[in-house]
Every structure is written in C-alpha cells, then in structure tokens.
Amino acid sequence: MPSLQQLERLLVVDPQDAFVLYAIAQEHAKQGRHADAVAFYDRCLGVNAEYCYAYYHKARSLEASGDRSGARAALEAGLAAAKAAGDAKALSEISGYLSAL
C-alpha cells in the first residue's frame, strides 16, 4: 500500500478519485485517527455512493470512536448501497456486521 503522503499526492492529481479517498481513509483508520478516517470515507461516498466497503469501514471507525448509533446508520446506508449495486458479498458482510453490532 502506498504511504499516506503518496496517496495525498495522488489526490492532488484527481480529488474525485474514490479509490484514493478510500485508501487515505484506510490509512487514517490504521493509525487510529478515526475522525480523519470518517471524513475521508464520507468524501469517498460523496464521489461514489456505491463504494460499499467505505460504509463498512466507516462504521468500524465510528464504532472505534464510541459512536455505535453512527456505526449502525453507516451500515444501514451500506446495506441500501450494496442492494442497489447488486453486490452480494458486500451485502453479506455489512449485514453480518450490523447483526453483530
């Protein structure tokens, strides 16, 4: 995985690149900066609302921050997105996480 600095340089080239936004969010989450992670997941979803795993990982960051209701809302939005996208794998994983939450 590229470093956060490399990803930020890529974002300058294309600020609407959903994959780069998602990757930056993942890096922030790995480093425990969940508020920053959530902000980048939101930016990713603003560009591509069908980026199903952004909902899943946004929920993980929200839960890690103690916001279980926010995590639940992110997962419910992710379920709708996975259904709309016809992504059975994401639907299963998001559904399982929601049930466990």
What Cα–Cα distance (Å) separates residue 35 from each residue in 7, 31, 69, 78?
A: 18, 11, 15, 19
CA angle (24 as vertex; 87, 82 as ends), nearest 5: 15
* Phi, psi (deg, nearest 5) at residue 87: -95, 90
Output the pTM of the full model: 0.92
| CATH class of the 4-100 domain in this structure | mainly alpha
Q: Structural domain boundaries of the chain?
A: 4-100
Q: What is the pLDDT along the chain (101 residues), one digit of tens a residue?
A: 678 888 899 899 999 999 999 999 999 999 999 999 999 999 999 999 999 999 999 999 999 999 999 999 999 999 999 999 999 999 999 999 999 99
96/59 Cα distance (integer angstroms) = 13
Helices (H), ranges, the chain: 4-13, 18-30, 34-47, 52-64, 68-85, 88-100
